[in-house]
Structure 1
């Protein structure tokens, strides 16, 4: 039922409101220590500065002696935040914690009196569809209904709800543009891609936009402006236009279509490729003959869909062509979301590994200066997604085989071929690094079991890691490296590794990284000399180079939309989450002044517990990933 402005505030919320006093007043920070999780014993209000915002109520009577609108807004937000979830007759508000702070800073007075500002918000909500958002997530129907209702016909409760819905839509859309709608951890996508810099409260930003009538400008600014993102937006608009015109025809199943063939399906194939611009129809009358022009168009389609570009319309190619425009739209939306997760915080120089696209890109000072093909993990040895930084490079590396590979692959090979160790130049070492005679080991006893020894391959061009490897801290033991298996880079799909990333031209990458590492005594020329010597050498970088291992099944390259197979079957989870109702936003704010408490802590307030969970800011930088 709708709240009445005279409704007394329930006493059970008193303890929770003490928390509000503590968290929503803005005194300055203070340093010290705080246990990671502890109850709040004997809360007392910190000494107030000369000018403070009015405190929240402690008992049933509002502190504000304002208008009925102010009292109702205050009561509504407090009940939503501190009380039991859900009010049956009210539309869901997703940013309650933000709203409580937003309206507190405005004395709980209504915010949306200017019609032009409301129009700006509505236009931004509608335009959100161009970025893959669903406008109805942001109360578009209800806001439009209220917008078309004369103010004198609204009850006090309806006027308050209208104001809150507008604010909720603004904050929700803004935060989704800035950080994405989907929590990546809930779809097992993102490990530590986010920056470690604490998020600052956006409440003042949103309040200022409302008061200065710059809502649309602010929301446009919150959208990513990186060319990767804007190109995907253009692709989404184009494929929506295609879908609006009916999409493309489905090619009937049948035998493989090859150049030179005569088949009625060839006309359908031409029409299909014409829709997406892969084929440009000549002036001649359509034919059932599979000619050279059509074969060239098929190869173009295959290249941008990461298929073998043989010009033959076989089973896999026809399956890709028959994926509907609606499904491609979903794929673009998924990758717009993935891009939102990280694109705002990209440093000016970084490496991006496109796992699904089997490519590596090197950006220096915001310019793409180098690309290379890569191989990634097989579907059952998936390359993980995370963020780190390259801290050192090893030239002429040895390779110590991981225990799982030894158990599952190496020991069976040794049992089947007694010369396997010699052929692969593998040494057997005990845990202290002492070399063991392999003939003294009963290898058959270790079939399917973990070997209590290390196997190390000597450095050299035939080493599994090649001539160079690039190390970055991570819990998955994943790194970039060279490989002697160069021929596999000729494949369109290159998922061949156990999880690490094999680089086609790693020596070029090493030279570039060292050239762009000021003060490093190891120059590119010196690197080549060390490699020629065959000596295993570690080169520490003066400036760690950020690296992102990303999973993008759609991107735009040279103005061409690229669609890639969903190698690890991850897209559907994000599609489902994008189409679901939004999740309530969690508020992270700074701890107000408390004696003997640390600076720069992040605190997550849990309204269902009388506990404060803190995560201390790290002091010194001990690992490269801590800088990201």
Structure 2
């Protein structure tokens, strides 16, 4: 059995429907013949508790598991049947997912979670989703055993650690069941944490997980050829490296086989392929080849697989924190996006912290937009950066609109200070910059509570956005389109139409606007992901945070062919059919 999620087109529901009565769920409204939605909790008859006070042992559970293993329902999934039998044998057949009259807390959360994970990208045949959604209430020990077996098998067939290379080498298959007891001791929170780990509902996780087999296939077939170093190669130039470039890009598909030419001329079709490669690796897509483009071209296929594995773990750990609507500022990609229901609705380039003042990763909520912000320079920045600028260019602070205050709050003339005698550890002043075109925060600041004193804002140094690598700030996130971002986050507030924002900005008067719809914000560090258009993206590890994992042994044998299951096979079942949609 493979350790990656194995899928096929052979799963069938008929046999289990007959043996378990799935054609008529126990709680269905028999008058209307309307089945429940897949995430609706099974409810017991009136006067009967849905969840029993204690989990009980189920006699002959091993027989139910053995019978289910013969059913074609799970033919398209990898299920460790032997491990499942051994697990329940060791715990004496203790029910984990069911009670005599309904579902346990684990069973209920799993029942609700599975269709959500599937809609996020978990590849699971619709027959499995239907079987879990329509599992009847236990009516006897035998029926409880069948339902327990179904839910346990579905869990083992979909849990990340049971079926993917992300799981520990010695904890695959049904051994993932060992995590359940510890989770249940922590109550609903523990169970949620377990399912967050094993059935993520973060669409970026599943998009990247589903791409992994393709990247592994490159590795299995020997990767791609290295490209010799060139100082600078522009469209139309002639260079011996051109053929190596064609060979490299034809492997990963940026250059179609039909467009592979001969000769040393950097021709238009190869230029277009390079531009595509540059876009998908965070480089300026001008078609000009230099050191950074060559560097990205020569990252090995093995390193790319390891990079994906690392970022899958990052997404698995953090994915449950992401809301349907949120702002994400990703440091390696140097961009800010607003995501709504898995779609990019706003985009802007961004500048992040320089290497000696790295931007932090964090999650918070934007509650306030400040138009025409003033800026009080943090003590460290004032004592180091601004003092240095004033020393090198006397009058700098005055020209940039700064007012200097002593510790008593009295204004001090910059010409009354010996700038060579002050600095770190000896700067008894506060520097406050008035709103205006020179203000370091630009025209707009977006405030959100955090322990790092960072925020999102504009900048007067807009030319820096033309740079390929934009790590120039002291930790904050600078955006290229702060005014457009403000208009976007305020677009649903009738009191703040775009025209009013423009008028306020002209006044240079600091104005605070409370968001009626606060916006969750996440500053992240992700170097490999599949974007919202389905395109694989890689970025350089600018902060040297990527501690790449070792390549799992026999990884190429653990992965299955890409697109093994037709897309229609993976769609969740339409359980609203016939319900008067």
> What TM-score bracket applies, with the shorter chain setting the length?
0.5 to 0.7
SS at match of 1:353: strand
Map 1:434-513; keep pairs closer than 5 Å.
Answer: 434-513=410-489
Q: Any gaps of 5 or more consecutive residues in structure 1? A: 1-50, 56-63, 70-97, 144-164, 176-196, 207-217, 580-628
SS at match of 2:472: strand
Is the contact between residue 366 and residue 520 of structure 2 (CA under 8 Å) also seen in structure 1?
Answer: yes
2:269 matched to 1:293? yes
1:209 counterpart residue number: none
Find the partner of 1:410 among 386, 389, 396. 386
Map 1:65-464; keep pairs closer than 5 Å.
Answer: 123-124=157-158, 132-134=165-167, 136-140=169-173, 165=175, 167-168=177-178, 200-202=189-191, 222-224=199-201, 226=203, 228-253=204-229, 256-282=232-258, 286-364=262-340, 367-464=343-440
What is the number of equivalent residue pairs in this alignment? Answer: 428
Question: 1:333: how far off?
Answer: 1.7
Is the contact between residue 112 and residue 118 of structure 1 (CA under 8 Å) also seen in structure 2?
Answer: no
Question: 1:279: how far off?
Answer: 0.9
Distance (whole Å) between structure 2 residues aligned to residue 450 and residue 503 of structure 1: 33
- The structure, 1 or 2, with the larger RCO (C-alpha pairs under 8 Å, 6+ apart) is 1
2:529 matched to 1:555? yes
Distance (whole Å) between structure 2 residues aligned to residue 105 and residue 290 of structure 1: 65
Structure 1 residues 413 and 242: alpha-carbon distance in aligned structure 2, compared to 1, 3 A threshold? same
Distance (whole Å) between structure 1 residues aligned to residue 515 and residue 196 of structure 2: 39
**Cα shift readout 1:166-189 (whole Å, capped 9, x = no counterpart):** 6216789x99xxxxxxxxxxxxxx
1:541 counterpart residue number: 515
Question: 1:308: how far off?
Answer: 2.9
SS at match of 2:224: coil
Is the contact between residue 53 and residue 105 of structure 1 (CA under 8 Å) also seen in structure 2?
Answer: no
TM-score normalised by structure 1 residue count = 0.60
Is the contact between residue 462 and residue 484 of structure 1 (CA under 8 Å) also seen in structure 2?
Answer: yes
Is the contact between residue 327 and residue 339 of structure 2 (CA under 8 Å) also seen in structure 1?
Answer: yes
Question: 1:303: how far off?
Answer: 1.8
Question: 1:246: how far off?
Answer: 1.7
Distance (whole Å) between structure 2 residues aligned to residue 198 and residue 527 of structure 1: 48
Q: Any gaps of 5 or more consecutive residues in structure 2? A: 1-51, 63-90, 101-143, 554-581
Distance (whole Å) between structure 2 residues aligned to residue 283 and residue 576 of structure 1: 36
Is the contact between residue 99 and residue 168 of structure 1 (CA under 8 Å) also seen in structure 2?
Answer: no
Is the contact between residue 250 and residue 260 of structure 2 (CA under 8 Å) also seen in structure 1?
Answer: no
Question: 1:561: how far off?
Answer: 1.2
Question: 1:430: how far off?
Answer: 2.5
Question: 1:244: how far off?
Answer: 1.7
Distance (whole Å) between structure 1 residues aligned to residue 343 and residue 227 of structure 2: 41
Structure 1 residues 166 and 342: alpha-carbon distance in aligned structure 2, compared to 1, 3 A threshold? closer
Question: 1:532: how far off?
Answer: 1.6
TM-score normalised by structure 2 residue count = 0.64
SS at match of 1:376: strand
Question: 1:360: how far off?
Answer: 0.9
Question: 1:512: how far off?
Answer: 1.8
Question: 1:266: how far off?
Answer: 2.4
Question: 1:136: how far off?
Answer: 2.3
Question: 1:554: how far off?
Answer: 1.4
SS at match of 2:514: strand
Distance (whole Å) between structure 2 residues aligned to residue 258 and residue 511 of structure 1: 39
SS at match of 1:412: helix
**Cα shift readout 1:419-451 (whole Å, capped 9, x = no counterpart):** 222221211112343312223223222144341
Distance (whole Å) between structure 1 residues aligned to residue 473 and residue 187 of structure 2: 36
**Cα shift readout 1:2-57 (whole Å, capped 9, x = no counterpart):** xxxxxxxxxxxxxxxxxxxxxxxxxxxxxxxxxxxxxxxxxxxxxxxxx96599xx
1:571 counterpart residue number: 546
SS at match of 1:138: coil
Structure 1 residues 251 and 230: alpha-carbon distance in aligned structure 2, compared to 1, 3 A threshold? same
Structure 1 residues 171 and 325: alpha-carbon distance in aligned structure 2, compared to 1, 3 A threshold? farther
Distance (whole Å) between structure 2 residues aligned to residue 556 and residue 199 of structure 1: 32
Distance (whole Å) between structure 1 residues aligned to residue 509 and residue 478 of structure 2: 21
Question: 1:199: how far off?
Answer: 5.8
Distance (whole Å) between structure 1 residues aligned to residue 452 and residue 497 of structure 2: 30
Distance (whole Å) between structure 1 residues aligned to residue 196 and residue 380 of structure 2: 49
Distance (whole Å) between structure 2 residues aligned to residue 510 and residue 343 of structure 1: 26
RMSD, matched Cα = 4.1
Distance (whole Å) between structure 2 residues aligned to residue 386 and residue 202 of structure 1: 25
Task: Identify which range, 427-436 or 349-358, moves more after superposition.
Answer: 427-436
